[in-house]
Chains A and B, each alone.
Chain A
Amino acid sequence: MCLKHSRGAAEPVPPFTSLFLDRPADREATVGTVNTVLGAVEASQLGVTLLSEALMYVLPGAEYAFDIRIDRAEVFDRLAARLAEFKAAGGGTIVDATGMFQGRDLRLYEALSRATGVHIVATSGQGPENMLGGYFLTPQTNPPTPWPAQKFAEMFGREVNEGMVVPRLERRAPAGMICTAVSLEGMTATDGSLVRGAARAGATYGVPVFIRCGSDALAELQLAIEESMRPDRVVIAGLDRRDAVAKGWPLAVAQAGACVGIDHVGSTDPFYVSDAERVALVLDLIGAGHADRIVLSSSATGVAFGEPGNDLPFATVLTTFVPMLEQAGVSRDLIDQILITNPARLLSVGGEA
Chain B
Amino acid sequence: MTRVNTVLGTISAHELGFVAIHEHIGYGMPGSELDSRWWKTPEERYDETVPKLRQFHENAKPWGAATFVDATGICNGRDVDYYKSLSAKTEVHIVASTGFVGGDTALPFFERASVEYLTDQFVHEIDVGIGTSGAKAGIIKVGVSRGFKMKELDKRIYRAAARASKVTGAPIFTHLAVDCEPALAIFAEEGLPCHRVLFGHADDGVSQGRINEQAILAAGGRIGFDTFGYDLELPDPPFWGRPRQERLDHLLRYLQGGLVDQVLVSADANCSPLGWPGVKGHTVNYLFEQLIPDLHGAGIDDATIDRIFAQLAAEFLTLQPISAQ
Is A24 in contact with chain B by the CB < 8 A criterion?
A: no
Contacting residues, chain A, for B34 (C-beta < 8 A): 100-101, 133, 135, 155, 165, 167
Instruction: Point out the residue from B39, B104, B238 that lies within 8 Å of A137, measured CB to CB.
Output: B104
Structural contact, A61 and B110, CB atoms closer than 8 A: yes
Mark interface residues in A301-344 (1 if CB within 8 Å of B CB, else 0). Answer: 00000110000000000000000000000000000000000000
The list of the 10 closest CB pairs from A to B, nearest first, reads A133-B31, A61-B107, A61-B109, A133-B30, A135-B31, A167-B33, A135-B29, A142-B239, A66-B124, A60-B107
Q: Are B106 and A61 in contact (CB under 8 A)?
A: yes
Residue interface mask A276-290, B partner, CB < 8 A = 1:
000000000000000
> What A residues does B182 contact at CB under 8 A?
none
Contact with A along B217-258 (1 / 0, CB 8 A): 000000000000000000000110000000000000000000
Chain A 38-71 interface residues, beta-carbon cutoff 8 Å to B: 59-62, 64-67, 69
Say yes or no for B28: interface residue by CB 8 A criterion.
yes
Tell me if B36 counts as interface (CB < 8 A to partner A): yes
Asked if A61 contacts B120 (CB within 8 A), the reply is: no
Q: How far is the CA of A251 from the CA of B237 in the complex (A)?
A: 55
23 interchain pairs (CB within 8 A)? Answer: A59-B108, A60-B109, A61-B106, A61-B108, A64-B75, A64-B131, A101-B31, A133-B34, A133-B107, A134-B31, A134-B105, A135-B29, A135-B30, A135-B31, A135-B34, A135-B35, A137-B104, A138-B104, A139-B29, A155-B35, A165-B36, A167-B33, A171-B36
Inter-chain contacts of B108 with A (CB < 8 A): 59-61, 130-131
Smallest beta-carbon distance B104→chain A, Å: 5
Apart from A135-B275, A140-B29, what are 14 other A-B pairs with CB-CB below 8 Å?
A59-B109, A60-B30, A60-B108, A65-B121, A66-B125, A101-B31, A130-B111, A134-B105, A135-B29, A135-B34, A138-B104, A139-B29, A168-B38, A307-B109
> Closest residue of chain A to B145, judged by CB?
A138
Say what secondary structure dominates the interface of chain B.
loop
Question: Which residues of chain B have C-beta atoms less than 8 A from A134's C-beta?
Answer: 29-31, 104-105
B198 on interface, CB distance cutoff 8 Å: no
**244-278 of chain A: CB within 8 A of chain B:** none
The interface residues of chain B lying within 8 Å CB-to-CB of A130 are 108, 111
Kindly provide the distance from the CB of A242 to the nearest chain B CB, expressed in whole angstroms: 24
Query: Is B162 an interface residue, CB under 8 A from the partner?
Result: no
B206 partner residues in chain A, CB cutoff 8 A:
142
B156 to chain A, nearest CB (A): 14
Residues in B whose Cβ lies below 8 Å from that of A306: 109
Number of interface residues of B (CB under 8 A): 36
B74 at the interface (CB under 8 A from A): yes
Within 8 A of A (CB), among B19-76: 28-36, 38-39, 74-75
Chain B residues, CB < 8 A from A140: 29, 238, 275-276
Interface of A is mostly: loop
Q: Which residues of chain B are near A137, meaning CB under 8 Å?
A: 104
A144 touching B146 by the CB < 8 A rule?
yes
Q: Annotate B131-145 by CB proximity to A: 1 below 8 A, 0 otherwise.
A: 110000000000001
Closest residue of chain A to B38, judged by CB? A168
Q: How far is the CA of A97 from the CA of B11 in the complex (A)?
A: 47
Contacts of A132 in B (CB 8 A): 31
In angstroms, Cα B241 to Cα A150, docked, is: 29
What is the minimal beta-carbon distance from B53 to any residue of chain A, in angstroms?
20
Q: Which residues of B contact A100 (CB under 8 A)?
A: 34
Q: How far apart are A255's CB and chain B's nearest CB, in angstroms? A: 35
Chain B residue, CB-CB nearest to A140? B276
Closest partner residue, chain A, to B77 (CB atom): A168
Whether A66 lies near B120 (C-beta < 8 A) is: yes
Determine whether the beta carbon of B28 is less than 8 Å from that of A135: yes
Binary per-residue interface labels of chain B (270-293) against chain A in the complex, 1 for a CB within 8 Å, 0 otherwise: 000011100000000000000000
Complexed CA–CA distance, A139 and B206 (Å): 16
Chain A residues, CB < 8 A from B31: 101, 132-136
**B 92-116 to A, binary, CB cutoff 8 A, 1 in contact else 0:** 0000000000001111111100000
A133 contacts across to B, CB distance below 8 A: 29-32, 34, 75, 107
